[in-house]
Amino acid sequence: MPPKRTADALDSDSEAHVKYKATSKGTDRPPPTKKARKAPAPKAMPTPKAKAKAKAKAKEAPSPVVVDNANESPEEEAVPTRPSGSFDIYLMELPFLQEILMPPKASAPDYLTLYKDLVIRQGKKDRSGQVNFGDDNGVMRVNAPGFEDPMEDDAYDLTLSDVKVVDEAFFTEDEENTFFPEPPKTDGSGMIVASLDIESHCGVASASGEVKMMTTPSANMFFGVMNMRVSYSGMYSRKGHGYGTDETYAFWALKSKEGDEMRGFDEFHEF
């Protein structure tokens, strides 16, 4: 009859001990391969130091569940947050905003003071326009040359389409030149992008444009650029407004206050 395998003998065999402890059956039976193997000679009793070393090695074995969870979490965190809903727009080219951001003799932009000023203006509904990013489309109005009727000075009803988030943020050289004093530093997150068009408008033969806004605010303020190319019909051209416009603006944006969101063209909004 083969000698019984004691608990101390199991502790001295660290590999068998780890696999044995990892089974879900919870029995004291060693793996079949170990049981079938005939020991050439009884093993010497391990010393207390050897037993402690074997147990410590077994405890250090990594859990496969923890490893799997760790591999999944970075993929979830890599997805950029998607801005949605209504935002108030403030053009960077406005002289009084430039002076607040960069007072005379200032060596660096004062973003905190600008943010506080925009919050005050937002409470008074003093803004350049509004944009609402929906799931796939949206609406926008901006009071600025190229974004408003040259005869009535009313903002065009702009529609957004193909709204999406891109992982890589980018601005063209012409777009960067519209920032003041330059594009703010960001964490490298993505931007929300949408195509622009003008809702049916008398005097406009064709129009196309784009709006881009960072998905993460900088100094509590979102920022981006918008451009619009408009070709006038013969009626506007004959009245001395030329053949059309091609304008690009950089802007700051704050999330619209509750109750003052732009939801559609059927609602009146003060600019």
Q: Which residues pair with 142 in a beta bridge?
A: 129
DSSP 71: H
Cα(85)–Cα(140) distance, integer angstroms: 11
pLDDT of the chain, 271 residues: tens digit per residue = 544 444 444 344 444 343 434 444 444 444 454 444 555 555 555 566 555 655 555 444 443 333 333 333 334 444 457 789 999 999 999 999 999 999 999 999 999 999 999 999 999 999 999 999 998 899 999 999 999 999 888 999 999 999 999 988 889 999 999 999 988 887 767 999 999 999 888 889 999 999 999 998 989 999 999 999 999 998 888 888 899 999 999 999 999 999 899 987 765 444 4
Burial 146-166 (b: 16+ CB within 10 A, else e): bbbbbeeeebbebbbeebebe
Q: What are phi and psi of 156, to 5 degrees?
A: -65, 150
Q: What are phi and psi of 70, to 5 degrees?
A: -65, -35
Neighbours of 239 (CB within 10 A): 12
Pairing type for strands 138-142 and 129-133 reads antiparallel
Q: Name the packing angle between helices 14-22 and 48-59 (round to 10°).
A: 40
Q: What is the reported pTM?
A: 0.69
